[in-house]
Each structure stands twice: as structure tokens, then as C-alpha cells.
Structure 1
Amino acid sequence: MIEGFTSSLAEVNGTRLHYVAGGQGDPVVLLPGWPRTWYQFHKIIPLLAQRYRVIAVDLRGMGDSDSPLPGTTRRPWPAIYTS
């Protein structure tokens, strides 16, 4: 784990998504490319955290985020991440 960051889970539309967050300031959300995790950004997160609140997410089914539930894979993926 990166010093000063916390690892958490958020439930979004019935799916638990893992994220790490830290820093202060305006938020910056980092979404990795498939099939990666938040760790894709581990080298730049400390630099961004000097000026911003950084939130790096594991996409659904990746890292510590839940996998898709049966029958939900045809939903448009933006709907999975918004309430």
C-alpha cells in the first residue's frame, strides 16, 4: 500500500468496488485500462497526491472488486459505476 492511502470498498448498484484514496485537494479519479487494477498507477499516485485527492479504482471483476453477477453482464458498463 502507498503511504498515506487507504484501501476501501464501496457498494455501487449492488457491486462492491475496491479503491484506494489519499491526498488532499480537488479529486482526481484514476480508472485503469482492462484488465488492470489501481496498482497500474502506483508510481504516479504519490506525485498526484501532493496537489489532489487521488482515488484509484479496481474495475468490476478486477483486483479486489466484485465480479459481475450472472445475468448482469449486458448492462451498459457506465451504469454499473453510477448510482
Structure 2
Amino acid sequence: MAPADRPLTPTELAAFRARQKSRSRALALVLLALVVLFFAITIVKLREESKRDAKSRQQLATPIGVPHGGTSTAGPQ
């Protein structure tokens, strides 16, 4: 009988489970870090897009030839 074919002793099984648990926790931390990273990137992109859209709306709302202050520089005074 090869050593790999025999059942694990309780001590070996406990050590195996401890290593397995440790790897599972490490993987969970890596996945959590990725989730936080993706969330942060999404928030930054949404803010940039929101600023860009607000600037576009402001430019579209301003009539041609009228500065952003809202009063025309041309015309009788």
C-alpha cells in the first residue's frame, strides 16, 4: 500500500484542515481586496463622468456668443 493511499491520522487531518483553512482565508482576503479595488475605480470613473456631463450640459445651456456670466457683452448700453 502506497503512503498516499492510506487514510490520514487525526493529527495529519487536523494539520491538513489548518493549512486548507489558512489558504481559504488568504484567498478570501485577495478577493475582498479586488472587490474594494473595483469599487473604488468605479466610484472614481463615475465622478469623472459626472463632472464631464455637468460641463457639457453647462456648455449646451449657454447661448452662442453669451459668456458664462449670462449677460451679453454686445448690444446697446
- Quickly name the TM-score band, shorter chain normalised: under 0.3
Higher-Rg structure is: 2
TM-score, normalised relative to structure 1: 0.17
Higher share of residues assigned helix: 2
TM-score, normalised relative to structure 2: 0.17
